[in-house]
């Protein structure tokens, strides 16, 4: 179930899960529902699709023979798979007048164009067609990484796809990745390019609104959300608009939007959690308490309901852990003993009030429940450091830093404490050079925080709890999901904010995503290899070498890849790379005399060819 952040704002990829055709009947799709739609994905074997280029053979390059069944093979695999990303993130390609274009159909068209160019012997057209396949494959890999909450990689793939094809869809995907990693100016830059190419792109307007909201430019965000809604009405965008209106203290307008959402979906507990979140983000705590209490009255076990109410009490009282706030957190654990969020916050507050044993207990359970949370490990490390358990603290800090950097969240406020404390431990233990590197990183993070605080007009005080308003940002990294539910009385509850951001996938979804990645890797390996083959046949050896190397990174099992890579490296003057690749090619095909001869010419030792068994000899 995708997490919901009560402090962060509505995520853009959540739009992908919202049905735009008949919301009253269909409601909001859940990740669980998507899993049902693609349940066959994990059972399918990956098929490799190779373009093949036989418009003239090079002495160096092996080109697979033309197979008219390539597109048929692709269609058979992809239709059965349901193309995972189409179901999950297809909305990122939506426009006002038409449904999202199916990547299945688009791949079909691009494979057909490549085969036509090959059959016509048109090498430049074949290269251009291969580039189009590469661009689409990279975009789909970016969408998969967005779904998996691997935002730095999502940005990398989207950015790389733009080198092959500059389309609005890739700019939107890149903007979404930048938004999730806090690179708001970069997100706005990408969105401006997307809107210049497609001013009727509702999702682009929505992402722009999200970035503006995060920059606290609420009036501009309202305008962006309104433009998105004019193009394609949906409840997720309406919720973002209402959240902005609350920040502008226009409660009546926001309440009208919430009322319309209730009319469409019914008086559901999950909706009231969403409304409460919006009120709390606008520091309208009494309204937030009212909504959370209403959610609990409709369903006393609504997921994370007591946690949200307790968090609101905590924020309302300047982060002083009042008996009522604590009671709500403990009640959450009574209803759901495995609740990561209640354990984390109880441990956090225990640490802040210098109760080390209680902090260790709750934070340790939080880390066990969610081992990918950098914050839980960070505060376990700080608790150990406070108790002078430096060896344990060092291990915990290193783990927290690695997790934060891997998730692209290394600039949130509190992770700097891991760098600073680890630097001190290293210097104290005689590792000054390494320690200074961690201090430098901590100083860089601190400068980002100061710059952000200057834009926001300063920071609040701690109110006596040891926790200041500056710590709110770090808490938001671990906020729980609002109940999504695919069945039952909350089936129509919309996705909340930060949906798919920090997504926790089920094991089944992980298997499905892995199968989809395997398929896309096969497509990209073949497409890069096809592109390189055309380039090598035109004697563009240096460029071809780079693309063959990319093909190897995606799928080293592409037929003849290492042979072609090796001979191309040889022609490009890169002898070490030629030797490396040709050795691999010879291991795959020991009887390849041309490879054997080339290796001898390059002055490298060549293993003797195994003698042929008598039974294998021709009569």
pLDDT in tens, 463-488: 333 344 344 434 544 455 443 233 33
Q: Is 618 exposed, middle or buried (0-12, 13-18, 19+ CB in 10 A)?
A: exposed
Q: Which residue has the tokens 């409460």?
A: 276
Supply the pLDDT for residue 506: 82
**CA–CA gap between residue 498 and residue 181 (Å, rounded):** 12
Residue 151's nearest CA partner among 188, 187, 185, 177 is 177
**CA–CA gap between residue 488 and residue 70 (Å, rounded):** 44
For residues 499-527, average pLDDT: 80
**CA–CA gap between residue 204 and residue 370 (Å, rounded):** 32
The two tokens of residue 361 are 């207990």
For residues 406-435, average pLDDT: 85
User: Residue 370: left (phi > 0), alpha (psi -120 to 50), or beta?
Assistant: beta
The two tokens of residue 608 are 């003797």
Helices and strands of the chain, counted as H and E runs: 29, 0
Q: Is the pTM for the entire model greater than 0.85? A: no
Distance of CA 236 to the CA centre of its chain: 19
Supply the pLDDT for residue 100: 52
Residue 254's nearest CA partner among 267, 245, 264, 265 is 245
What distance, in Å, lies between the first and last C-alpha atoms of the chain?
65
Secondary structure of the chain: what % helix, strand, coil (to 5)?
A: 70, 0, 30
**CA–CA gap between residue 337 and residue 222 (Å, rounded):** 40
Residue 370, φ and ψ in degrees, nearest 5? -135, 80
* pLDDT tens-digit map of 327-368: 999 999 999 999 999 999 999 999 999 999 999 999 999 999
Residue 470 and residue 453 in contact, taking contact as beta carbons nearer than 8 Å: yes
**CA–CA gap between residue 270 and residue 497 (Å, rounded):** 12
Segment among 50-64, 250-264, 557-571 with least mean pLDDT: 50-64
**CA–CA gap between residue 15 and residue 2 (Å, rounded):** 12
Residue 28, φ and ψ in degrees, nearest 5? -110, 130
Residue with the larger pLDDT of the pair 105 and 59:
105
**CA–CA gap between residue 471 and residue 552 (Å, rounded):** 45
pLDDT band at 584 (very low <50, low <70, confident <90, very high): very high
pLDDT band at 581 (very low <50, low <70, confident <90, very high): very high
Supply the pLDDT for residue 11: 26
Of all residues in the chain, what percent carry a pLDDT higher than 70?
Answer: 72
Whether 494 shows a pLDDT value over 90: the answer reads no
Segment among 95-104, 388-397, 405-414, 542-551 with least mean pLDDT: 95-104
CATH of 338-480, one of 1.20.120.720, 1.25.40.10, 3.90.230.10, 3.30.420.10: 1.25.40.10
Cα–Cα distances in angstroms (integers) from residue 106 to residues 133, 372, 482, in the given order: 9, 36, 35
Residue 137 and residue 522 in contact, taking contact as beta carbons nearer than 8 Å: no
Residue with the larger pLDDT of the pair 22 and 108:
108
Residue 68's nearest CA partner among 81, 78, 54 is 54
Domain 508-605 has CATH 1.25.40.10: yes
pLDDT band at 12 (very low <50, low <70, confident <90, very high): very low
Residues shown for the chain: 619
For residues 140-162, average pLDDT: 94
**Domain positions in the chain:** 338-480, 508-605
The two tokens of residue 558 are 């592409």
Supply the pLDDT for residue 94: 38
Cβ-based neighbours of 421, under 8 Å, separated by 6 or more: 381, 382, 385, 393, 397
Q: State the alpha helices, DSSP H only, in 181-268.
A: 184-197, 202-214, 218-231, 235-247, 251-265
Residue 521's nearest CA partner among 46, 55, 9, 130 is 46
Residues pairing with 28 in the sheet: 18
Q: State the alpha helices, DSSP H only, in 407-506.
A: 415-428, 432-456, 472-476
Supply the pLDDT for residue 608: 73
Residue with the larger pLDDT of the pair 17 and 602:
602
338-480 and 508-605: identical CATH topology:
yes
Supply the pLDDT for residue 453: 57
Whether 216 shows a pLDDT value over 60: the answer reads yes
Supply the pLDDT for residue 220: 97
**CA–CA gap between residue 254 and residue 251 (Å, rounded):** 5
Residue with the larger pLDDT of the pair 108 and 42:
108
Supply the pLDDT for residue 373: 86
What is the secondary structure of 11-65 as a DSSP string?
A: -SGGGGGB--S-HHHH-B--HHHHHHHTTTGGGSPP--------SS--SS---PP
Supply the pLDDT for residue 49: 34
The two tokens of residue 238 are 């309406």
Residue 272's nearest CA partner among 290, 248, 251 is 290
Supply the pLDDT for residue 587: 94
**CA–CA gap between residue 359 and residue 364 (Å, rounded):** 8
**CA–CA gap between residue 584 and residue 392 (Å, rounded):** 44
**CA–CA gap between residue 221 and residue 228 (Å, rounded):** 11
Distance of CA 310 to the CA centre of its chain: 30
Residue 519's nearest CA partner among 49, 99, 20 is 49
Cα–Cα distances in angstroms (integers) from residue 198 to residues 16, 95, 421, 519, in the given order: 18, 9, 48, 30
Supply the pLDDT for residue 480: 54
HSE-CB of 32 using CA atoms within 13 angstroms: 9
**CA–CA gap between residue 369 and residue 348 (Å, rounded):** 15
pLDDT band at 103 (very low <50, low <70, confident <90, very high): confident
pLDDT band at 102 (very low <50, low <70, confident <90, very high): confident
Residue 347's nearest CA partner among 333, 331, 325, 365 is 365
Residue 18, φ and ψ in degrees, nearest 5? -100, 125
* pLDDT tens-digit map of 255-305: 999 999 999 989 999 999 999 999 999 999 999 999 999 999 999 999 999
Residues pairing with 18 in the sheet: 28
Average pLDDT over the chain reads: 78
Supply the pLDDT for residue 479: 56
């Amino acid at each position: 179930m995708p997490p919901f952040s009560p402090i962060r704002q509505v995520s853009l990829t959540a739009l992908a899960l919202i049905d735009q055709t008949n919301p009253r009947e269909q409601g909001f799709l859940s990740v669980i529902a998507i899993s049902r739609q693609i349940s066959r994905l994990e059972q399918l074997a990956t098929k490799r699709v190779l373009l093949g280029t036989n418009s003239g053979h090079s002495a160096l390059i092996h080109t697979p023979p033309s197979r008219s069944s390539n597109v048929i093979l692709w269609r058979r695999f992809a239709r059965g798979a349901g193309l995972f990303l189409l179901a999950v993130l297809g909305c990122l390609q939506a426009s006002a007048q038409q449904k999202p274009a199916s990547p299945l159909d688009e791949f079909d068209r691009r494979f057909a164009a490549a085969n036509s160019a090959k059959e016509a012997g048109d090498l430049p057209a074949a290269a251009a067609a291969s580039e189009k396949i590469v661009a689409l494959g990279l975009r789909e890999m970016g969408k998969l990484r967005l779904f998996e909450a691997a935002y730095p990689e999502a940005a990398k793939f989207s950015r790389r796809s733009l080198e092959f094809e500059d389309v609005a869809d890739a700019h939107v995907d890149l903007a979404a990745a930048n938004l999730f990693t806090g690179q708001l100016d970069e997100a706005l830059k990408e969105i401006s390019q997307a809107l210049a190419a497609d001013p009727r792109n509702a999702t682009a307007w929505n992402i722009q609104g999200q970035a503006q909201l995060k920059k606290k430019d609420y009036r501009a965000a309202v305008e962006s959300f309104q433009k998105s809604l004019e193009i394609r009405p949906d409840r997720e965008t309406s919720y973002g608009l209402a959240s902005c209106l609350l920040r502008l203290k226009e409660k009546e307008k926001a309440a009208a939007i919430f009322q319309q959402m209730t009319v469409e979906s019914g008086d559901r507990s999950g909706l009231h959690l969403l409304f409460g979140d919006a009120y709390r983000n606008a520091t309208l705590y009494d309204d937030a308490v009212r909504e959370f209490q209403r959610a609990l009255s409709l369903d006393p076990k609504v997921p994370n309901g007591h946690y949200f109410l307790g968090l609101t009490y905590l924020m309302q009282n300047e982060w002083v852990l009042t008996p009522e706030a604590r009671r709500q957190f403990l009640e959450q654990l009574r209803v759901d003993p495995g609740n990561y969020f209640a354990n984390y916050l109880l441990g956090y507050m225990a640490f802040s009030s210098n109760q080390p044993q209680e902090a260790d207990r709750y934070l340790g359970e939080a880390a066990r429940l969610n081992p990918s949370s950098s914050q839980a490990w960070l505060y376990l490390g700080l608790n150990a450091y406070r108790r002078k358990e430096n060896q344990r603290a060092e291990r915990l800090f290193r783990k927290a830093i690695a997790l934060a950097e891997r998730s692209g969240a290394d600039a949130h406020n509190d992770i700097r404490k891991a760098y600073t404390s680890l630097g001190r431990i290293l210097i104290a233990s005689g590792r000054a050079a390494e320690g200074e590197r961690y201090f430098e990183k901590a100083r860089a993070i601190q400068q980002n925080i100061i710059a952000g605080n200057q834009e926001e007009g300063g920071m609040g005080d701690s109110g006596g709890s040891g926790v200041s308003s500056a710590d709110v940002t770090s808490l938001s990294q671990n906020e729980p999901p609002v109940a999504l539910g695919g069945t039952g009385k909350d089936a129509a509850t919309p996705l909340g904010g930060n949906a798919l951001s920090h997504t926790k996938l089920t094991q089944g979804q992980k298997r499905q995503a892995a199968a989809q990645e395997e398929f896309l890797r096969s497509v990209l390996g073949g497409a890069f290899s096809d592109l390189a083959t055309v380039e090598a046949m035109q004697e563009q050896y240096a460029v071809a070498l780079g693309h063959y190397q990319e093909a190897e990174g995606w799928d080293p099992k592409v037929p003849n890849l290492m042979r072609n890579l090796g001979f191309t490296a040889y022609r490009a003057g890169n002898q070490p790379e030629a030797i490396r690749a040709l050795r691999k090619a010879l291991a795959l095909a020991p009887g390849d005399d041309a490879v054997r001869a080339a290796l001898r010419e390059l002055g490298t030792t060549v293993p003797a060819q195994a003698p042929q068994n008598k039974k294998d000899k021709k009569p």
